[in-house]
Amino acid sequence: MIVELGHFALVLALGVAIYLTLVPLYGAATGNVRLMELAVPAAIVKFFLIAFSFAALTVAYINSDFSVLNVWQNSHSAKPFIYKITGTWANHEGSMLLWVLVLASFTLAIALFSGNLPQSLKARVLGVQGSISTAFLVYLVTVSSPFVRIPEGRVPLEGQGMNPLLQDPALAMHPPMLYAGYVGFSVAFAFAIAALMEGKVDSAWARWVRPWTLAAWTFLTAGIALGSWWAYYELGWGGWWFWDPVENASFMPWLAGTALLHSAIVVEKRNSLKTWTVLLAIIAFSFSLIGTFLVRSGVLSSVHAFAVDPERGVFILGILAFFIGGALFLYAARAHTLKLEGGFEPVSREGALVLNNVLLSAALAAVFIGTLFPLAYEAVTGGEKITVGAPYFNLTFGTLIIPLLVILPFGPLLAWKRGNLKGTFRKLRTAAALAAFSALVTALLFGGSIMAALGVALGVWLVAGALEEWAHRVMLFKAPFKVVRNRIFSMPGHMWAMTLAHAGVGFIVLGAIISTAWKSEEIRALKPGDRVPIAGYEVVFKGEREVPGPNYLALQGMFEIFKDGRKVTDAISEKRTFLGRRNMPTTEVALVYSWKGDLYIAIGDQSALGGRTVRMYFEPFIYLLWIGALLMVFGGITGLLDRRFRVGVAERTESRLAAQPAE
């Protein structure tokens, strides 16, 4: 009866979440340390209850227990073991359970690793976390329970199968990463709310918030990158970013989180931009909630679909309204209590970070409008659909993000408070020269448009700029080798984080520009024996065959790849039809890697003219994208390992000893 016990643990967790909301907040409001301290055991208990509940659902999936409605709807006994596990969260109810599990993990982490937090702040942060947890647990228990059973005697013997698109290693890991990112911002949110309650935001507060924000940002970056990589090799369209609303839903909190990450630095170092940073913390988590709502309510597929089955959507909308509205209200009422300090000149590190924030926020607004406008339009016109496509996003987002990328290398070199633009530019001479040189080389040697050449220059500028800043820092070529080595090894983690992440942005720009501007594309209806030349390769279609997989039937298109008359390799692209979900075939792309890029082959449908539709692309240097994303994630991890995020615990000073609590 592990299923029922899992269900019971979930409702018990709801009880504990209510407790975790009420007791510490009340304790903090009345200055009662005893009550504040109860937040920690409650957070621990809540985590274990939800973890048990999640484990119970996982066991039901592993055992193909079709007496659980959710398992029957989303699983199949013939599924490979790994997808029985990941199937737990590859559906609405299970993914919401994962959401609260991740939230409980963050709450647990705050409870355990925040000995350095003032008790009242810690109690309030945990209390706010408890309230978010309560809202989502009520949602899970009432309208979205993963533990609903099928009546005895009517239990089916086979499930309806898991969404075939999700039966893939990258996408199996995508939701946990994404949720860790989304939910991670709840910590910054809780800190912001707690700070508004206390009326105190200062550089100490920023220092407590930053590691949590960085952790969330790192997870979210990894999650988005995994999703993008998956879209590239699984969807079969040769692209890696489609400005799809689901993608935008995860990109918006990322933009807000990136801005928050930077503005929190200003609060910590300069005790400035405080209200703005608190607002960003609220916005970042609000977009996480909106992202969850967009993807989970069904509103994206159609406003109409949402209106037909509104129970869940309205519930999440209510949660959204409560937390976002409540937080903004509190912000409006309390923001003036946050005292300002520390002015700065426009040309300074602060100035650069403000510009970063302005441009990121504007870009966020552009994406937000482009994502929600079609929904609003459909709702207002009563069902008419329009799509806002890539051209809109490329124009608006591009216009806003390019200036940001151009000024990016300057930021880290500017001094705080008062910077020197001329001196800074001199420090970036080499990067500027390299960028100009690369633009010339690409324009003259490889053809392509002026825009593409400028894009390459921008990428080179970012990578070289990050490296040049690093070189200045370690005094490369300026100091004896010993000194340089010393400096490299003693460079703090957060500095490495910045260099890696900024260089990563450059690699992403390079990968994006080159793979788009110099992409080759052939879409043909092929019969066995047909040969297609593409980007120096010759693709020979050998024919097709059917091969059974564990829970699918694969139609394999077989290819031989030649280069300069010599055979390079065999390649197979598949179309898989899954048991239980026959109407959702998936594509497995054949990828032939080389240092120049990927040869990408995807088979499509039978062509009306006879033969098999085959899409072939050559994607030059596309791997720079993945390298860039990896660098950003590694940057995030190095930043998290930085010793300075482990703030020292407050020590009891002499004067404290005189102030024993009277009891």
Partner 1 sequence: MDANVMFWLLAGVMMAVVLALLLLPLLRRPGRALARAEYDLAVYRDQLRELEQEVEQGLIGKEEAERARNAIARRILAADKARQQAQAQVDGAGRGGVLAAIGATLLVPVAALAFYLNTGEPGRPDMPLQQRLANAAQNNDLAALVKRAEQRLATNPDDLRGWLALAPAYEQLGRMDKAVEAWRKAIELSEKPDADLYNSYAEALVRASQGRIPDQAVRAFRKALDLAPGNPMSRYYLAMADLQAGRREQAYDALKKLLDDLPQDVPARRTIAQQVQQLAMMLGKAPGSLPSGPVAMAAQASSSSSASSAPASEAGAAGGPSADAVRERMRAMQNASPQERMAMIRNMVESLDARLQEDPDDLGGWLRLIRARKVLGEDDKARAALKRANEVFANDEEARRKLEVLAAQIGIAP
Rounded distance between C-alpha atoms, residue 221 and residue 215, angstroms = 10
3-class secondary structure, 525: strand
Contacts of 357 (CB under 8 A, 6+ apart): 259, 262, 263, 273, 276, 280
Cβ(610)–Cβ(496) under 8 Å? Answer: no
Placement of tokens 């079609």 in the chain: 374
| Among 614, 604, 601, 588, CA closest to 526 | 614
Give the number of residues written for the chain.
663
Cβ(232)–Cβ(239) under 8 Å? Answer: yes
Q: Give the residue with the Cβ less far from partner 1, 49 or 500.
A: 49
Kind of pairing, strands 552-563 and 537-548? Answer: antiparallel
Q: Give the residue with the Cβ less far from partner 1, 407 or 491.
A: 491
Q: Edge to edge, what strands does the sheet with 537-548 contain?
A: 531-534, 537-548, 552-563, 566-578, 581-588
Report the nearest approach of partner 1 to the CB of residue 156 (Å).
Answer: 4
Q: Give the residue with the Cβ less far from partner 1, 155 or 375.
A: 155
Q: What is the dihedral of CA 638, 643, 645, 647, to 10 degrees?
A: 170
| Among 515, 514, 540, 538, CA closest to 527 | 540
Report the nearest approach of partner 1 to the CB of residue 41 (Å).
Answer: 5
Cβ(542)–Cβ(560) under 8 Å? Answer: yes
Q: Which residues pair with 556 in a beta bridge?
A: 545, 574
Rounded distance between C-alpha atoms, residue 458 and residue 442, angstroms = 12
Report the nearest approach of partner 1 to the CB of residue 569 (Å).
Answer: 34
Report the nearest approach of partner 1 to the CB of residue 90 (Å).
Answer: 19
Q: Give the residue with the Cβ less far from partner 1, 62 or 443.
A: 62
DSSP 8-class letter at 65 = -
Q: Give the residue with the Cβ less far from partner 1, 154 or 566.
A: 154
Q: Give the residue with the Cβ less far from partner 1, 77 or 302.
A: 77
Report the nearest approach of partner 1 to the CB of residue 662 (Å).
Answer: 6
Q: Give the residue with the Cβ less far from partner 1, 342 or 611.
A: 342
Cα–Cα distances in angstroms (integers) from residue 16 to residues 12, 54, 513, in the given order: 6, 16, 51
Report the nearest approach of partner 1 to the CB of residue 295 (Å).
Answer: 23
Report the nearest approach of partner 1 to the CB of residue 152 (Å).
Answer: 7
Q: Give the residue with the Cβ less far from partner 1, 11 or 454.
A: 11
Report the nearest approach of partner 1 to the CB of residue 294 (Å).
Answer: 25
Rounded distance between C-alpha atoms, residue 506 and residue 427, angstroms = 18
Report the nearest approach of partner 1 to the CB of residue 271 (Å).
Answer: 7
Tokens (6 digits) for 275? 């209200």
Q: Give the residue with the Cβ less far from partner 1, 564 or 651.
A: 651
**Which amino acid is located at 413 in the chain?**
L
Q: Give the residue with the Cβ less far from partner 1, 208 or 306.
A: 208
Rounded distance between C-alpha atoms, residue 531 and residue 32, angstroms = 79
Rounded distance between C-alpha atoms, residue 443 and residue 417, angstroms = 40
Rounded distance between C-alpha atoms, residue 62 and residue 237, angstroms = 33
Report the 3 state secondary structure along 486-504: HHHHHCCHHHHHHHHHHHH
Report the nearest approach of partner 1 to the CB of residue 44 (Å).
Answer: 7
Report the nearest approach of partner 1 to the CB of residue 365 (Å).
Answer: 33
Report the 3 state secondary structure along 453-498: HHHHHHHHHHHHHHHHHHHHHHCCCCCCHHHHHHHHHHCCHHHHHH
Rounded distance between C-alpha atoms, residue 513 and residue 625, angstroms = 10
Q: Give the residue with the Cβ less far from partner 1, 421 or 650.
A: 650
Q: Give the residue with the Cβ less far from partner 1, 121 or 352.
A: 121
- C-alpha radius of gyration, the chain, whole number: 27
Report the nearest approach of partner 1 to the CB of residue 402 (Å).
Answer: 30
Report the nearest approach of partner 1 to the CB of residue 191 (Å).
Answer: 14
Q: Give the residue with the Cβ less far from partner 1, 116 or 275.
A: 116
Q: Give the residue with the Cβ less far from partner 1, 610 or 648.
A: 648
| Among 588, 659, 570, 493, CA closest to 232 | 588
Per DSSP (E only), the strands in 166-258 are none
Contacts of 495 (CB under 8 A, 6+ apart): 473
Report the nearest approach of partner 1 to the CB of residue 160 (Å).
Answer: 8
Rounded distance between C-alpha atoms, residue 45 and residue 13, angstroms = 8
Rounded distance between C-alpha atoms, residue 267 and residue 271, angstroms = 4
